[in-house]
A and B are shown apart, each in its own frame.
Chain A
Amino acid sequence: NAGVTQTPKFQVLKTGQSMTLQCAQDMNHNSMYWYRQDPGMGLRLIYYSASEGTTDKGEVPNGYNVSRLNKREFSLRLESAAPSQTSVYFCASNNYGYTFGSGTRLTVV
């Protein structure tokens, strides 16, 4: 099925560990995004990529890095995970309306 694929679906990290969340879309969209969703906070933009080769900070970029590997793939990296980064992470691609992945539930202990 066409859409946005995120891996992994669940992850538990210890404080200070690093990991990369993977995202791929097969809709040939130029724009891709990483959001986090926290209770009572809605969806907050971490980073986005308007096109291949470009990335920009969103509302809450601190503690994260991203890579737009090619048009299909946009990864999110936590270099040194902190408990405050416990959240559900959604990747999305955009063509006048987002298509979201199914999310990654990350717990940092």
Chain B
Amino acid sequence: DQQVKQNSPSLSVQEGRISILNCDYTNSMFDYFLWYKKYPAEGPTFLISISSIKDKNEDGRFTVFLNKSAKHLSLHIVPSQPGDSAVYFCAAALEGNQFYFGTGTSLTVIP
């Protein structure tokens, strides 16, 4: 039973435009959320996180939005760059312990 879902397996965006990656979760007790980025043949790397007490966190071109009532978070990348092409995983955790990962969204930024 997948507790964290990324319903879009892939996304293509033109360079310079906004990329929006979505993630839904089922457990309302999750209190910490993260996004990871993964290039082929490498391990996932941490991108940005958000605590459940916030609804937005921004780091440069990356912004994560959390809608607790909808159990939904999203990652916005503005402007998108070709180097952003990767697989993005969202993850959710309870009290910072075991993390549950989504299935990933493959982002392609077209030059």
Contact = CB atoms under 8 A, between A and B. Distances in A.
Interface residues of B, number: 24
Given A45-B98, A50-B97, A98-B46, A103 B103 contact: no
A101 B97 CA distance: 18
Given A90-B44, A101-B43, A43 B89 contact: yes
A46 B84 CA distance: 29
Q: Is the interface of B mostly helix, strand, loop or mixed?
A: loop
B42 interface: yes
Contacts of B9: 40
B43 A102 contact: yes
Contacts of B83: none
Nearest to A56: B98
B98 A98 contact: no
Interface of A: 4, 31, 35, 40-45, 48, 50, 58, 90, 92, 94, 96-103
Interface of B: 2, 4, 6, 9, 32, 34, 36, 41-46, 49, 89, 91, 96-99, 101-104
21 contacts: A40-B9, A40-B103, A42-B2, A42-B101, A42-B102, A42-B104, A44-B101, A45-B98, A45-B99, A48-B98, A58-B98, A94-B97, A96-B49, A97-B34, A97-B46, A97-B49, A98-B44, A98-B99, A100-B43, A100-B44, A101-B43
